[in-house]
């Protein structure tokens, strides 16, 4: 297939996935900021949300203060932010329009419908209720797009590239939450945070829709190191780094099988996957959780660059 | 109003045989049903997203072309006459263009004046003396036809560059079959759905001899912002070929490649829907970002086929058009089967004088114009309008030709007051491959929806109809 087509499909999926992630962050932050200060300490949740979204620098170029109004506007509706929910959907729809023939009707309907609906929200909601509805709608739109891709696409390279986009973006998002909140997840004797982090842990899990999953996996109340375990090493948790890399390797293998050749991208992905398989949480804590996550983000980005180089240009 | 030939009714009011079944059906049909189906058709078109952009109204705007649900019908006999004429016309066009860029016998014989060719902006000296694969230049032609009586068809325009509209021909038929299955069960209508197959066979047949047995064909589009982008993606999809933009292609050692996820892949035939000017910034407009740098070197080396060939625009020129009867005779030794509208070339002094004296009864067009922009229809224009046009004509007479106002035939059409005759033309699409000429029966019928109007262009408020060619 044309490199440009694969590139468009890959980024189409990445942007839809990113939009959903931003909605989850905003939702979790809104919950935290509604709690009494005594429960969450004095940390600024809105600033943390911007950091988790990975766009603090861009944000503070435009605003002086990270408060609800500014952050909501910036992450959800701003046209000045190329990674706001609105921008994500607009780029995704632009990519989809350029590749209409590579999409199934259901996928086109999903993304085009989302884009049309986006206009209804204008420059932002007028109330908290409406904003909550908006966030739910973003998540539903992403689910609908993802579901139509999953259920209607032919299992060929177009599908594999679009899945790669989903998982690379998802791995990056999970790693970013961990990067910003790592200090809350350290084992008891290494704690940097305050005593009342329970709601923070819950918020982290909520951002990756894993709050219920946690209880099913561990069957105990929230323990920070188990939250880290769930998000990093657990294969059965769909947003964990391990699970993302299982999927990335699988899709890259399918591409290699169809094209009859392996390349740097496949080697890099397998390398990361192997490291995730061979390490345990106490090993990660010994090396330093923050360092581990930092390295992962760099390696994940490198895989993105290798995929681009090998297939998309 | 001009008395025009009506394709459904004879002068005495009796219905011509081809329209018999349709007339009966229309009579049985309650008028609100027809109106309901018309609105349904519009909804379907909007959903599929068949739109086109109108230029010159500030920002380019996405619009639907109005679709008329009453089909235009031709008998098999009428069609065969037309088919023969089209084949002859396109054979002559190919011979003419080959000659212009080769031996130039037509100039030496004095059939066409030299300066009309060499002074023509559509003439491409870059390919003079160059061979093109299999000597075919106009692989896809859209010949605009108007009818004035039972047997007389005029060619109004030759479109030998990148004619568009074929997606409407195909979609119109699809929609008609969806909306009026009972009407189809009462007729035997020649299909058009095989057009993409015929086009692909044509394109493959003209691959360079160095290409593999299964040549790689691509469709080159200027991109999503082009007014005909819908058609480009529609056709690529139906053909099963990649829809590429300039940036997807590159040239190395005079061979064209496309960038794929499996590395570079050689391209043998480019069905390009992008004008000569933008094709190759190294040869033509250096500011073009839509083209492929170096593609002309690959073309000249004979390693890629461009369809249509470079430089075919010379045949679209309306002054060249006026010489077509002589051109047909010169190359084929035959009398032209399709008529050419008598044309005054304003570049010639005597012609200009006549035109200036008769502006109120003539149609005046720009020689390179298309889309119905910038033309004068004398009988339908106010005195002030005519005087304004006169001034324009006097400043650059070379840019204009004039023709008598033709009484385009009319067909029954849905209008607000019910069903009424409206003027139509026809654009059949003629495919020329190495092996033969292929024409899918029918073509795109365009209809001037305003009462009495003779301008069928979609940019000027024209609509389209499905075109039926019947058995017998």
**Per-residue pLDDT band at B56 (split at 50, 70, 90):** very low
Least confident of B175-189, B321-335, B433-447: B175-189
Q: What is the reported pLDDT for A119?
A: 84
Tell which residue, A92, A107, A2, A18, has the closest CA to residue A54.
A18
| Tokens 């010639």, residue located | B348
**Per-residue pLDDT band at A124 (split at 50, 70, 90):** confident
Section A84-99 average pLDDT: 93
Of the residues B232, B261, B262, the best mutation for testing chain A's interface (the one with the most A CB atoms within 10 Å of its CB) is B261
Q: What is the reported pLDDT for A193?
A: 47
**Per-residue pLDDT band at B59 (split at 50, 70, 90):** very low
Section A261-285 average pLDDT: 95
**Per-residue pLDDT band at B51 (split at 50, 70, 90):** low
Average pLDDT value over all residues in chain B? 91
Q: What is the reported pLDDT for B40?
A: 87
CB contact under 8 A, A3 and B244: no
DSSP of A23-91:
HHHHHHHHHHHTS-HHHHTT--HHHHHHHHTT-HHHHHHH-S---HHHHHIIIII-SS-TTSHHHHHHH
Most confident of A161-170, B119-128, B224-233: A161-170
Q: A118 vs chain B: nearest CA distance in angstroms?
A: 18
| 3-state SS assignment for residue B445 | strand
B:221-250 residues touching chain A, CB 8 A cutoff: 224, 233, 236-237, 242-245, 247-248
Tell which residue, A194, A186, A307, A204, has the closest CA to residue A256.
A307
CB neighbour burial string for A209-231, b if at least 16 within 10 angstroms, e if fewer: bbbebbeeeeeeebebbbbbbbb
**Per-residue pLDDT band at A238 (split at 50, 70, 90):** very high
Q: What is the reported pLDDT for A40?
A: 60
Q: What is the pLDDT of residues A126-138, one digit of tens each?
A: 788 889 899 999 9
Between B104 and A51, the higher pLDDT residue = B104
CB contact under 8 A, B243 and A101: yes
Section B452-465 average pLDDT: 84
Share of chain A above pLDDT 70, in %: 95
Average pLDDT value over all residues in chain A? 90
Confidence check: pLDDT of B408 > 80: yes
Share of chain B above pLDDT 90, in %: 71
Section A255-273 average pLDDT: 96
Between B372 and B387, the higher pLDDT residue = B387
Model-level pTM? 0.85
CB-based contact, B447 to chain A, within 8 Å: no
Q: What is the pLDDT of residues A24-73, one digit of tens each?
A: 999 888 888 877 776 666 668 888 889 888 888 999 999 999 999 999 99
Confidence check: pLDDT of B57 > 50: no
Q: What is the pLDDT of residues B289-310, one digit of tens each?
A: 899 999 999 999 999 999 999 9
- A309: nearest CA partner in chain B: B261
């Amino acid at each position: 297939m044309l490199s440009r087509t694969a590139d468009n499909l890959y980024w189409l999926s990445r942007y839809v996935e990113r939009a959903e992630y931003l909605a989850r962050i905003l939702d979790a932050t809104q919950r935290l900021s509604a709690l009494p200060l005594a429960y969450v300490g004095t940390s600024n949740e809105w600033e943390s949300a911007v950091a988790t979204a990975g766009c603090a620098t861009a944000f503070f170029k435009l605003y002086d203060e990270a408060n609800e109004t500014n952050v909501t506007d910036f992450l959800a509706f701003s046209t000045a932010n190329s990674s706001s929910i609105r921008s994500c959907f607009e780029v995704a729809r632009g990519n989809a329009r350029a590749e209409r023939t590579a999409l199934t009707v259901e996928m086109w309907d999903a993304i085009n419908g989302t884009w049309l609906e986006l206009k209804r929200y204008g420059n932002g909601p007028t109330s908290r209720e409406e904003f909550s509805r908006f966030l739910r709608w973003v998540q539903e739109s992403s689910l609908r797009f993802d579901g139509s891709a999953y259920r209607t696409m032919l299992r060929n390279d177009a599908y594999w590239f679009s899945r790669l986009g989903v998982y690379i973006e998802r791995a990056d998002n999970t790693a970013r939450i961990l990067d910003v909140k790592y200090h809350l997840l350290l084992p008891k004797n290494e704690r940097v945070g305050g005593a009342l982090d329970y709601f923070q842990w819950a918020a982290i899990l909520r951002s990756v829709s894993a709050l219920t999953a946690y209880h099913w996996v561990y069957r105990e109340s929230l323990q920070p190191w188990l939250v880290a375990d769930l998000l990093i090493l657990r294969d059965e948790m769909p947003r964990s780094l391990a699970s993302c890399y299982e999927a990335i390797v699988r899709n890259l293998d399918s591409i290699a099988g169809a094209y009859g050749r392996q390349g740097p991208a496949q080697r890099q992905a397998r390398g990361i996957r192997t490291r995730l398989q061979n390490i345990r949480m106490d090993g990660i804590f010994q090396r330093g959780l923050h360092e581990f996550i930092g390295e992962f983000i760099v390696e994940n980005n490198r895989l993105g660059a290798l995929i681009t180089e090998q297939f998309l240009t | 109003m001009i008395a025009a030939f009506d394709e459904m009714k004879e002068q005495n009011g009796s219905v011509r045989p081809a329209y018999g079944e349709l007339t009966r059906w229309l009579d049985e049909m309650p008028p609100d049903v027809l109106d309901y189906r018309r609105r349904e058709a519009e909804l379907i078109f909007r959903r599929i997203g068949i739109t086109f952009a109108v230029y010159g109204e500030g920002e380019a705007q996405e619009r639907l072309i109005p679709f008329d649900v009453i089909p235009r019908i031709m008998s098999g006999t009428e069609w065969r006459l037309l088919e023969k004429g089209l084949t002859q016309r396109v054979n002559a066009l190919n011979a003419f263009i080959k000659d212009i860029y080769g031996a130039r016998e037509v100039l030496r014989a004095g059939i066409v004046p030299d300066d009309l060719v060499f002074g023509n902006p559509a003439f491409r000296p870059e390919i003079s003396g160059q061979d093109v694969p299999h000597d075919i230049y106009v692989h896809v032609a859209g010949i605009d036809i108007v009818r004035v009586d039972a047997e007389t068809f005029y060619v109004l325009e030759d479109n030998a560059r990148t004619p568009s509209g074929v997606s409407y021909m195909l979609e119109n038929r699809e929609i008609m079959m969806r909306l009026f299955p009972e009407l189809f069960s009462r007729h035997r209508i020649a299909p058009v759905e095989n057009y993409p197959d015929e086009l692909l066979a044509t394109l493959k047949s003209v691959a360079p001899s160095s290409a593999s047995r299964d040549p790689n064909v691509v469709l080159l589009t200027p991109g999503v912002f082009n007014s005909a982008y819908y058609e480009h993606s529609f056709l690529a999809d139906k053909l099963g070929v990649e829809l590429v933009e300039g940036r997807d292609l590159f040239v190395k050692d005079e061979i064209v490649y496309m960038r794929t996820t499996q590395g570079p892949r050689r391209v043998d035939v480019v069905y390009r829907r992008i004008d000569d000017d933008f094709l190759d910034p190294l040869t033509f407009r250096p500011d073009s970002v839509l083209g492929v740098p170096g593609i002309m070197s690959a073309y000249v080396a004979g390693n890629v086929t461009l369809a249509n060939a470079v430089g075919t625009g010379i045949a679209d020129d309306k002054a060249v058009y006026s010489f077509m009867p002589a051109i047909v005779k010169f190359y084929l030794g035959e009398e032209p089967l399709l008529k050419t509208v008598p044309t005054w070339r304003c570049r010639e002094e005597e012609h200009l004088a006549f035109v200036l004296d008769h502006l109120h009864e003539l149609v005046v067009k720009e020689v390179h114009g298309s889309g119905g922009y910038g033309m004068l229809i004398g009988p339908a224009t106010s005195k002030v309008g005519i005087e304004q046009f006169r001034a324009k004509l006097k400043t650059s007479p070379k840019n204009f030709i004039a023709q008598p106002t033709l009484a385009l035939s009319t067909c029954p059409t849905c209008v607000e007051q019910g069903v009424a005759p409206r003027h139509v033309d026809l654009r059949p699409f003629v495919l020329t491959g190495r092996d033969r000429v292929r024409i899918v029966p029918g073509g795109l019928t365009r209809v001037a929806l305003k009462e009495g109007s003779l301008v069928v262009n979609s940019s000027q408020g024209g609509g389209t109809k499905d075109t039926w060619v019947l058995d017998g």
